[in-house]
Each structure stands twice: as structure tokens, then as C-alpha cells.
């Protein structure tokens, strides 16, 4: 399954990043030139609408839950234009030195992993697996349609396509462009020539969005739950002398970007935080992920509070930590 993006302007209007205005470089542990030099990693994916048009999207039920079954391999193999158009998009980003993960190669590397998950009865959709494997910052979603133009005296084909950029961690769209072109030779060639021109509009928006992430942090969700067999609750007193919930709240204050988060659900057995901002880059300039953030939290939680917990992180931007007890 896949997720994807909406337009972000940096012209004095409020940023579409939650709770922030325009990005202003700040003094912190981020390397000085990271904002100028860092580029987001990119992955190109077909939209659900496009998958459906090639009979590569189906609704399935697993253990009573409904899922979208996205067959990316079928989409790529169904039509030679599908592979050519995705390659054209990827090539434009490669030419601008963006880190890029190839969809087809990633699908090939997933074969063994999917087989292992099936044997373990683990239900994971194709999109989740793709994003886990590739870990992109930005998803470029493609949607296109090509039909004969009935108003054209020569009955030439009309190509309409939409390119949307999504934050892979939040699935929030931040840029979208739709173009209409008359197919002069073949579909893939017409698309490639048109998209090359569109990149002049798309690339700056991606750059500005990622600069905002570097300055203000990456947005994730964080969820703490207590296992059913555990003999503790979040309001139980830990060996630190404070409740587990209080310890977690203090940790969130100190280990999020400027204490930025919103507590959405607070019960004896669950704490759920949204709009959580964590650093996008480590002090050496390498990227910092939600999984790394969660791993450090678990390490300190086990040491200071003396309880066992497990990292249930699945999506790129969804941290889930389960407290299992002593």
C-alpha cells in the first residue's frame, strides 16, 4: 500500500508544517551547512487510482480486517509505458543528485521478506514493506491517463498526468502538479519531455519542504501501550518514584524538538502523541529516523524504570512502544 503530497510556499505565508511558520535557521546541534546541502531521499510510486486502472489494486480481508492489496509488480509488467514513465521521473531526480530508491529493484529485494512474513502469518501491505525497506523522505506519486482526444481532427491521444509529493513519514501532501499534453510520438517520450519542464516548479518546493524538516524536525506519532498480561499500568509508580506516564512526559519534553508534541490520548494503559517533532539529522549530518529515536527511548526506559518493553515500530513515522512488565 502506498502514501503521497501538497504545495508548500515560502513567501511569507504560514508553513503547512504543523505549528510552524517559515523556516529560520537556528543554533542547535545540526551541522551548519546541513540545511543547504542535505537533500531528501526520493521514491516514485504509482497512485492507487493508477494501480486500479491496471487491475493491480484489490480489497482483501485478513483476519476480519480490510486491506488494500497493491500489486506493484503487476503494474510495472502490465505495460512498457509504466516502467518507462517511472524511470523518466527517477532520472530527473538523479540528474539533480537526489538520493533515490528504484521501485523495481526494491520490489525484487522484497521477495524473500514477503515469503518470511507469510510463513509467520504477519499481515503487511506492499506499501508498508516498500517504505520500510527504502526509508524515503519524500514519495513522488504518479497518476496518469492517456486517451484519444475526440476533438482532435487527427484523433491524437491526450496525456493527462498528476505528480504529487508526499512526506513519507506523515503521508501529508505538500506539492501537486497536473499537466495536459498532446502525444506527438509515444506516451513515454511525451511524458519525459513534459516532466523535465515541470521539474523547475517541483524541485524547489521539495527543497523548501525538506529545509523546514531539517530546521523544525521530522513529524512522527508516538504511542505507548501496556501489554494485557502485564501487571503494571501507566499510572503505576516506577522505581524512579514517579509514575511511568510522568517519566514518559518528561522524556518527551527533553527529547523532542523544542518540546514539540501534542498529547491526544491519555489513559491508564495508553499514551498517544501526535505532531511529535524529532531531529531530522544527527550531529554528524546523517539522517535520524523514528526507529532510532524509539530505540534510544526504550534503552533509557528499561534502564531507569526497570521494565521490559518492545519496539513495535512498523511505519516510517509511527512509533509504537509496548510495555511488557517486569
pTM for this prediction: 0.78
- The model's pLDDT over 220-267, given as tens digits with 9 standing for 90+, comes to 999 999 988 888 889 988 888 899 999 999 999 999 998 999 999 999
167 DSSP β-pair partners: 138
Q: What are the φ and ψ backbone dihedral angles of 179, each rounded to 5 degrees?
A: -130, 150
Average the pLDDT over 143-153 and give the result.
82
Confidence of residue 4 (pLDDT cuts 50, 70, 90): very low
**pLDDT of the residue at 92:** 95
Answer yes or no: are the C-beta atoms of 128 and 114 closer than 8 Å.
no
- The model's pLDDT over 88-125, given as tens digits with 9 standing for 90+, comes to 999 999 999 999 888 888 887 776 555 434 333 444 56
Least confident of 3-7, 79-83, 170-174, 260-264: 3-7
**pLDDT of the residue at 101:** 85
**pLDDT of the residue at 311:** 82
Q: What SS3 class is residue 253?
A: helix
Answer yes or no: are the C-beta atoms of 126 and 69 closer than 8 Å.
yes
Answer yes or no: are the C-beta atoms of 178 and 158 closer than 8 Å.
no
Report DSSP letters for 273-285, one per residue. EEEEEE-SB-TTS
Query: Among the ranges 28-37, 165-174, 183-192, which has the highest mean pLDDT value?
Result: 165-174
Can you name the CATH fold of 34-216? Double Stranded RNA Binding Domain (3.30.160)
Amino acid at each position: 500500500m502506498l502514501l503521497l503530497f501538497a504545495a508548500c510556499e515560502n513567501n511569507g505565508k504560514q508553513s503547512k508544517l504543523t505549528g510552524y511558520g517559515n523556516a529560520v535557521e537556528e543554533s542547535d546541534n545540526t551541522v551548519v551547512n546541513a540545511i543547504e546541502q542535505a537533500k531528501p531521499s526520493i521514491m516514485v510510486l504509482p497512485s492507487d487510482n493508477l494501480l486500479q486502472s491496471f487491475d493491480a489494486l484489490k480489497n482483501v480481508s485478513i483476519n476480519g480486517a480490510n486491506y488494500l492489496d497493491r500489486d506493484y509488480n503487476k503494474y510495472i509488467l502490465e505495460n512498457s509505458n509504466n516502467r518507462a514513465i517511472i524511470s523518466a521521473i527517477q532520472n530527473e531526480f538523479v540528474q539533480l543528485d537526489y538520493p533515490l530508491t528504484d521501485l523495481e529493484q526494491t520490489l525484487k529485494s522484497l521477495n524473500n521478506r514477503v515469503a518470511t512474513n507469510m510463513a509467520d502469518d504477519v499481515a503487511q501491505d506492499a506499501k508498508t514493506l516498500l517504505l520500510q525497506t527504502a526509508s524515503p523522505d519524500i514519495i513522488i506519486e504518479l497518476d496518469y491517463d492517456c486517451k484519444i482526444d475526440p476533438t482532435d481532427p487527427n484523433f491524437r491521444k491526450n496525456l493527462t498526468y498528476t505528480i504529487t509529493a508526499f512526506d513519507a513519514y506523515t503521508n501529508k501532501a505538500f506539492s501537486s502538479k497536473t499537466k495536459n499534453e498532446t502525444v506527438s510520438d509515444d506516451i513515454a517520450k511525451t511524458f519525459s519531455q513534459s516532466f523535465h519542464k515541470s521539474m523547475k516548479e517541483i524541485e524547489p518546493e521539495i527543497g523548501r519542504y525538506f529545509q523546514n524538516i531539517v530546521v523544525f524536525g521530522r513529524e512522527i506519532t508516538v504511542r505507548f501501550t501496556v501489554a494485557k498480561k502485564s501487571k503494571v499500568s501507566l499510572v503505576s509508580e516506577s522505581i524512579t518514584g514517579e509514575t511511568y506516564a510522568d517519566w514518559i512526559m518528561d522524556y518527551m519534553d527533553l527529547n523532542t524538538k523544542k518540546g514539540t508534541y501534542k498529547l491526544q490520548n491519555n489513559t491508564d494503559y495508553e499514551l498517544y502523541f501526535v505532531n511529535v517533532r524529532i531531529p531530522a539529522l544527527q550531529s554528524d549530518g546523517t539522517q535520524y529516523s523514528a526507529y532510532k529515536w524509539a530505540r534510544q527511548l526504550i534503552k533509557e526506559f528499561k534502564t531507569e524504570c526497570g521494565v521490559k518493553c518492545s519496539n513495535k515500530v512498523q511505519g516510517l513515522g509511527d512509533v509504537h512502544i509496548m510495555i511488557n512488565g517486569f
